[in-house]
């Protein structure tokens, strides 16, 4: 849990600092005084703060964002006393509308550039890896719940809505976000299956584990003092039969073993190309006590390497594709049963983090969240950067500056909207955690 929390907190701190730095740099560039620069919110008190020049720098205790306080700007601080005073040359409100617009967009621009840089570095250094459906010999493992949607063991997903994809993950994503039909290859023929609301709901709740490839049965390692060890199973053994039942697929053996709970049965294996007969006791859970090899799953993967130029091009495009995917995902929540339950706030995100530190996940997650923060902040909601930008654009187009009263009321509306969303997200996390 500590690793998961640390992953989220480090990512958010980095993103908040760089976002606010975008506002800070552009504000100072145009001669606007920055009164406060805080990572996280300092409600009532701050963990650390220090005044350097005209600016108080600090770290708050509430990890829900961060902020810069600009002189002469109506923001979430609602410092109306300052606004009643005579405008100073270093204040935000006296600057031309185009400068104020750039200042408001500074954080968003930094978020987009950061996402592009991270994605480009990931493509260049790591390439792209996915399970290639063209390599799937045995198709997918289908449980009883999935059969009601028309799926069968051995089906190979090949497309959605008539469009073909090589990546199994991409097929799952398209089926969830916009799929009306799923195309599968079944015994050499292509079959089209309707994607119903229940079908889509099941894909969503599976969290990427709905289309699981069927794989062959090979021992990776044996648990100490397990029935598998006592039977003489070794790493690399390929189990080909249990009590005369012959198949090479792992799911078949899992189901078969449950029929022999607490019994001793003959097992046929192939060891270094030679047949070996063993006797093994099945425990009360229907298991032998070994880990399955992932060698076959690895063989299904296709790895693409990219040049520096290709990586940069993909890195520039990827933030916008990530945003589009997130927007489509929100739309999907309105198409599934109890879609609210799938909305994840900080608590929900922590639970989805890897339990071991993973730099690849950290940077991928940071890039995705950076792109999403840029989009969220661009929304024309008062209190967000996009809301402030709308007023600046209005002034540029009409030549008329909104009154302070209008800005004050808009800011109050924005605060209510933002707080309501935060209450919903955190409340939803708590409800999902309890129930």
Q: Tens digits of per-residue pLDDT, 216-271?
A: 778 888 888 888 888 888 888 888 888 888 877 777 777 888 888 888 889 888 88
Task: Report the C-alpha gap between 17 and 68 in whole angstroms.
Answer: 10
Contact call for residues 235 and 222 (beta carbons, < 8 A) = yes
Overall average pLDDT of the 17-37 stretch: 93
What local confidence, expressed as pLDDT, does residue 21 receive?
Answer: 93
Average pLDDT, the chain: 86
Overall average pLDDT of the 104-132 stretch: 95
Which of the four pLDDT bands, split at 50, 70 and 90, describes residue 6?
confident
Would you state the structure tokens that stand for residue 47, as one six-digit string? 């963990």
Overall average pLDDT of the 293-318 stretch: 92
Residue 148 pLDDT > 80: yes
Nearest to 388 by CA among 57, 106, 123, 28: 106
Residue 78 pLDDT > 60: no
More confident: 416 or 157: 157
83 exposed, middle or buried (CB, 10 Å; 0-12, 13-18, 19+)? middle
161 exposed, middle or buried (CB, 10 Å; 0-12, 13-18, 19+)? middle
pTM for the model: 0.82
**Coil, strand, or helix at residue 154?**
coil
Task: Report the C-alpha gap between 93 and 63 in whole angstroms.
Answer: 29
Q: DSSP letter at 63?
A: E
Task: Report the C-alpha gap between 161 and 299 in whole angstroms.
Answer: 28
Would you state the structure tokens that stand for residue 297, as one six-digit string? 């799953």
Please give the domain boundaries of the chain with CATH numbers for all domains. Answer: 2-125+365-434 (no CATH), 129-213+300-304 (2.30.42), 219-295 (2.30.42.10)
Overall average pLDDT of the 368-379 stretch: 92
pLDDT digits (tens, 9 = 90+) for 354-366: 888 999 999 999 9
What local confidence, expressed as pLDDT, does residue 113 receive?
Answer: 97
């Amino acid at each position: 849990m500590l690793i998961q929390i640390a992953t989220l907190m480090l990512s958010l701190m980095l993103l908040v600092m760089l976002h606010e730095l975008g506002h800070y740099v552009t504000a100072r560039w145009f001669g606007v005084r920055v009164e406060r620069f805080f990572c996280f919110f300092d409600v009532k008190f701050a963990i650390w703060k220090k005044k350097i020049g005209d600016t108080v720098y600090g770290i708050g205790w509430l990890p829900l964002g961060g902020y810069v306080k600009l002189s002469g700007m109506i923001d979430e601080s609602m410092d109306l006393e300052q606004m009643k005073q005579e405008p100073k040359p270093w204040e935000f409100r006296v600057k031309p509308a185009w400068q104020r617009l750039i200042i408001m967009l500074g954080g968003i621009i930094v978020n987009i550039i950061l996402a592009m840089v991270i994605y480009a570095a990931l493509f260049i250094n790591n390439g792209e890896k996915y399970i290639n459906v063209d390599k799937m010999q045995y198709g997918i493992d289908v449980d009883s719940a999935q059969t009601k949607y028309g799926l069968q063991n051995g089906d190979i997903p090949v497309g959605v809505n008539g469009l073909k994809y090589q990546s199994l993950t991409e097929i799952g994503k398209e089926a969830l976000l916009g799929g009306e039909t799923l195309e599968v290859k079944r015994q050499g023929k292509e079959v089209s299956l309707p994607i119903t609301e229940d079908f889509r709901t099941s894909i969503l709740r599976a969290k990427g584990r709905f289309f699981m490839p069927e794989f062959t049965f090979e021992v990776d390692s044996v648990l100490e003092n397990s029935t598998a060890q006592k039977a003489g199973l070794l790493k690399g053994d390929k189990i080909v039969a249990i009590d005369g039942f012959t198949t090479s697929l792992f799911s078949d053996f899992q189901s078969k073993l449950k029929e022999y709970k607490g019994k001793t049965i003959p097992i046929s294996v192939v060891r270094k190309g030679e047949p070996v007969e063993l006797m093994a006791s099945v425990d009360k859970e229907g298991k032998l006590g070994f880990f399955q090899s992932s060698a076959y799953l690895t063989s299904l993967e296709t790895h693409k390497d990219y040049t520096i130029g290709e990586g940069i091009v993909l890195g520039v495009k990827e933030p916008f594709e990530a945003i589009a995917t997130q927007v489509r995902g929100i739309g999907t929540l309105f198409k599934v049963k109890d879609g609210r339950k799938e909305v994840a706030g900080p608590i929900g995100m922590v639970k989805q983090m890897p339990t071991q530190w993973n730099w690849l996940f950290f940077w991928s997650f940071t890039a995705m969240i950076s792109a999403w923060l840029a989009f969220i902040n661009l929304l024309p909601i008062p209190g967000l950067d996009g809301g402030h930008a709308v007023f600046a654009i209005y002034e540029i187009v009409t030549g008329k500056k909104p009154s302070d009263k209008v800005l004050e009321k808009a800011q109050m509306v924005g605060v209510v909207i933002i707080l309501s969303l935060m209450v919903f997200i955190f409340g939803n996390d708590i409800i999902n955690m309890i129930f």
